[in-house]
Structure 1
Amino acid sequence: MLTALDDAAVGQWCRAAVEALSDFRARLDDLNVFPVPDGDTGTNLLHTAEGARAALDEAAPGESTWAVVARGAVLSARGNSGTILAQLLRGLADQLADQPPADGPVLATALRKAAESAYTAVADPEEGTFLTVARAAGEAAVTAVDERRTALADVVGAAADGAHRALEGTPDQLAALREAGVVDAGGAGLSLVLDALVRTVTGVQPVRPALARRAHRPHDHVHTPHQPPPGPGSEVQYLLADADETSVARLHERLAELGDSLVVVGVDTPTGREWNVHVHVADVGAAIEAGIEAGRPHRITVTPLAPVPPAAPAPGVRAVVAAVHSEGLAELFRAEGARVVVCDAGGITEDDLYDEIVAAGAQEVVVLPDDAGLHAAASRAADRAREAGREIGVVPTRSPVQGLAALAVADPQRRFGDDVIAMAEAAAATRWAELAVADQEALTSAGRCHPGDVLGSAEGDVVVIGAEFGAVACDLLDRLLSAGGEMATLVVGPDEALGDAVCAHLSSAHPTVEVVRYGGGPGSLPLQIGVE
């Protein structure tokens, strides 16, 4: 049992937190209903913690572990909860970096001050959220010290228990949580992080009740980053360099006028101070322009918020028909507003595609075959539909990731021909790759393969052969990204651990690349990759 948190213990806690958030990522995503029900809180928290871990792995000898963890978290923070977690870690670092190992009383004071700094970083703090849970943890830790329970184990146990009690009370503080029958997702993530601290200090994992699942209603829609922006606004996030405190203060005021869910967190880096800026706005351009006025924004991401569930196409309305090879992919494409034809034991035929085009009831239909082997069938089905008086465009997508990229730029307000061209250009700009298992001996571009070998293919050509999925996937991604790329889209099959390993590799080896991860890929293709 530890009596103080030294650098080694802080690093151990960081890795334990990544493990806990990875295990519960999907459950936290499912809980996410506030401030917008975009289903990404667990993913964002995990990405932030993985950034801290990656920074530790790359840290120079002699650097304070607290400072390294804070820097890695701030520079990798994603989403509202991820940015607040980064601020909490930075608040701890402000108190504990370059100091003797923290005992119970010192840690208690640092936890309380870190929670206060997190409140300060948020423009309009809400109760019943991550902030409430953080404050309760700090107060419980200080109370334990006041009651002369000063051992480190007592303090971290009190903090974790206080956080959990506050978490259970969040539905009483926020109507959105109460209506959905869940606790706050960000607060639940912080509770997991503090339980990981207890395990680091004591060696014992606290026993907690299972997190209740969200009661999905018929019109609930899980947000995906490719969804076009029909909702009330977008999440804008970027890192800001070359800015002074005065400029950042003006930026904070400007963004507070433009939107909400504003969090600005700064951290010192070897090249100077940088800020992670997060805000929800209706005017994306104005939010980015405000950053340009303040300094140099980079790693800019824009994610639509609260997309409207797509309605079934009515006569005269444009529709998209996509061919997919699993029910999981079917759910993704339906969420994007597409109609789908799902492959069964007999495969997808020309008649299947034609029937779905007709069933769409739309005068204009875009077809996404998403498989090179279906291009001919899609063209024949389109010709038949044209003979019936419909206007049909076939975008020659060869992978689901290209189909998702095409859907991301679809705009029913454009002329039909222009829309088809824009979708085709987006698909063509997306390099695609996939993993498969060899079922026979063959000579490939990467050499001879044998049954059971893992094959990594790019644009349909085998470029990597190996024995392990994870190693082949990481090698394949490194090759794809060597030619450049800003975003990697991953469609993961049944093995979620493979997805976790690939995301961890990307976070460490390619930290500037935005990663969008989906589940639901077919078992025959453990991983499908798109690089834009």
Structure 2
Amino acid sequence: MEHLNIDGRRFYNMVVNACNELEEKKNFVNSLNVFPVPDGDTGTNMSMTFRGAVSQISGMQDLSIGDISKKLSKGALMSARGNSGVILSQILRGIAKGLENLDTADASEVSNCLVEGSKAAYKAVMRPTEGTILTIIKAAGDKAASSTEEDIVKLMEEVCAYSEEVLDKTPEMLPVLKKAKVVDAGGTGLLIILKGMTEALKNDMDIELTDKVEDKQTSTVHDGTDDADIKFGYCTEFFIKAKVDDISNFKNDLAKIGDSMIVVNVDDIVKVHIHTNDPGVVLSKALKLGELSKIKIDNMREQHRHILENEYPIEEQVNKEIETEEHKKYAFVSVAAGEGLVQIFKDLGSDCVIEGGQTMNPSTQDILSAVNKLEADNIYVLPNNKNIIMSANQAAELSEKNVIVIPTKTIPQGITCLTEFNVNDEEKANTKNMLESIDKVSSGSVTYAVRDTEMDGVQIKAGDILGLIEGKISKVGENPYEICYDLIKEMVNDESELISIYYGEGLNEEEVNSLTKRLESEYEDFDVQSNCGKQPLYSFIVSVE
């Protein structure tokens, strides 16, 4: 049976089948992650993006192919997660453009929509890299454009065969793929979609979207802890108006009466955040340095009880707070994973913290929803992860508000940006200062290998502890505390003054304290700060400034 035209029903079943196939094979796509760290989420991001798009056309088989593709594109735009998801959403946007206003599509129109998908994808990326999903959609478009087939099934089979041929060559295009002995994950995901669409058309299948429990993107604060587990009950923060050259003695005094301490000295302002059981003592010590302003003290035990009673997710808690806020000049949306890191960002002035990060990239819709709930003249977004920047930019483009994305790739970069921010400065000055501050901080992390591999001649076994500097593997060993120490030692240079450690969930606090004391002894002139981030997957996130 020839397929000379595709109507809305056929196209609907094609994309639903492709969605089911990608969901089934997403873990395989994840396994193609170049680096052996536990954040290989390309398959997850593409599957959630595509599933979000397909859910928007549920039950719309009777619409025209043009209308279905348009609704599919809009759904993908809002559901896009991670770089691969954003690029996939742009591919679908181009396909919708190629099918615009059509009731049905013949082979030449299907070819054109694939070409438009390629154009849209390349246009969305500032510096396109070959050997990626971009290369595969271009191969699909090029093959379709050069084909003389009128039967759409045969056309799609040609497209899939050529796309797979090009995919097999991606390791020759990207050295990092060749070293890891894998083909590109995003390109693989796209090929799965193309094959799934072809299969449904060829067999004239009527498909239903398979049931799936949506991946949880927000966590609750309820973690089984009791009020008694909160060692220091009052979150205390304020500013000291004073020109202080040396605040080391002040910081040493505070360290004895609290934890989660952050003290930043900028010009004639000292910003202080600490968890303590006696805010009065903290304020008394601060008054010796100068005048205090913007004092804020929160009873964390009371907050904890309130959250337990309501069992609200963190995002809902934040949204409830946002609804009561008045319009202001500036507001911040940040992304962070881990109860401790979420609290640090809120304490430093972030109005909304979307809980996410590695393996849990928020969608364009998640970020846009947070932005829309804020009432401010200027809204800054701190993605704090290189794989979230494109979704943040897409949300900024969709918003009618003045949204500025500061392209922070790490948690330390986001924290530094918040400490550099000055509410009294104009938007352009603040944006410039925060962009410049990104280059001032060196970021590292300690995690574990999820598979055997070889990187730069180094043999890595699953379970090995990995130390990364700016996302590149620098240390391999067995002890996360030793790896963290060695990592910081490599990161320190002659201009360094501050070492910040954010330790993850499940670590031994005594060993963390021993590591901190060892660093303080090694770097006597440095300010060494240790904070409980409770982040998953990463034993340590560290920065040197």
Q: Give TM-score scaled by structure 1 length.
A: 0.45
Which is bigger in relative contact order (C-alpha 8 A, separation at least 6)?
2
